[in-house]
Chains A and B, each alone.
Chain A
């Protein structure tokens, strides 16, 4: 009898926590345009960069993956290491989930060449293709930076005082921004796991 009581309570708690969890498809973040009745969502433009193993990386090579993206540079003394700590949490958590990749862009491509990025990745414990560290043409990277964060800024709930430099952005297979997290805030990144799970679910249901 005691046990069944307990079971009851557990069921109620279980049901309650289910209702708490958000489900269904993630929203599309950023500017929307309506052209001939079709809604066009903000999209990461095409790019052509190079990773820590000297491989070219562009939108096409990422079109079968969803990915989380951040911007950093290896000699950054301020918030970058904290964001990397959170990227590392994401990396560890989704190690076996091949659908998800991580993409870190350097904002200091002159100093952060392929070799520097290779060593950096190795020191982070990354020696595979799951986490890409990208360098290349500086203007292109800075334009991209705008595109990743333009979406985020337009969707920012709190107006004003935007410091977007520590954001981690979730991008779907079509290059649409679907969620973002404050990369310096471990709790926000814990919530972000749910967003990533939801996007993975979207693709696994298909």
Chain B
């Protein structure tokens, strides 16, 4: 291996590593700005007013709806971890699909959540889905 190749590999590795590290940085910042006021910084929600996003059984079962909810809101009686929630949440139309994707992937792995990832295609599908 010549020296240039070696440097290239090191450089790529470093780049890859730092990118990995900051993977959901934008999502985290957007979450803080747009969601944390109600759902709290630690995703714990507030009593029976705002449901939790951390370890939420509802989210676990409906994670494909997460992007849709961000854009269009949700007005339903929800049961999250055994508690009933009835206050509607308004959508945030100012968020772009890319921003929604970043927030989604931040939430799916934030705190105690280990709900995998969502590709940009899946996020778009969710945004395009029609609710009955």
What residues make up the interface of A, taking CB atoms closer than 8 Å to B?
77-82, 84-85, 88, 120, 122-125
17 pairs, CB–CB < 8 Å, chain A vs chain B:
A77-B38, A77-B90, A81-B37, A81-B38, A81-B46, A81-B49, A82-B36, A82-B40, A84-B46, A84-B49, A120-B49, A122-B48, A123-B47, A123-B49, A123-B87, A124-B46, A125-B47
A124 touches B40 (CB 8 A): no
Which of B36, B37, B49, B90 has a CB less than 8 Å from the CB of A124?
B49
B48 touches A85 (CB 8 A): no
A84-B39 Cα distance, complex, nearest whole Å: 12
Q: Is the contact region of chain B dominated by helix, strand, or loop, or is it mixed?
A: mixed
Check: B50 CB closer than 8 A to any chain A CB: yes
Most chain B beta-carbon contacts within 10 A, residue among A77, A79, A80, A81: A81
What residues make up the interface of B, taking CB atoms closer than 8 Å to A?
36-38, 40, 46-50, 87, 90
A82 touches B47 (CB 8 A): no
Residue of B nearest to A85 (CB): B46
B47 touches A88 (CB 8 A): yes
Residue of B nearest to A184 (CB): B37
A88 surroundings in chain B (CB, below 8 A): 46-47
**CB of B55, distance to nearest CB on chain A (Å):** 17
A123-B38 Cα distance, complex, nearest whole Å: 14
Residue of A nearest to B86 (CB): A123
A121-B85 Cα distance, complex, nearest whole Å: 14
Besides the known contacts A84-B46, A123-B47, 11 further A-B residue pairs in the complex with CB atoms under 8 A apart: A77-B38, A79-B37, A80-B37, A81-B38, A81-B50, A84-B49, A88-B46, A88-B47, A123-B87, A124-B48, A125-B48
**Top 4 A-B pairs, shortest CB-CB distance:** A123-B48, A124-B47, A123-B49, A81-B38
A84 surroundings in chain B (CB, below 8 A): 46, 49
A78-B33 Cα distance, complex, nearest whole Å: 9
B47 surroundings in chain A (CB, below 8 A): 88, 123-125
A78 surroundings in chain B (CB, below 8 A): 37
B49 surroundings in chain A (CB, below 8 A): 81, 84, 120, 123-124
A84-B45 Cα distance, complex, nearest whole Å: 11
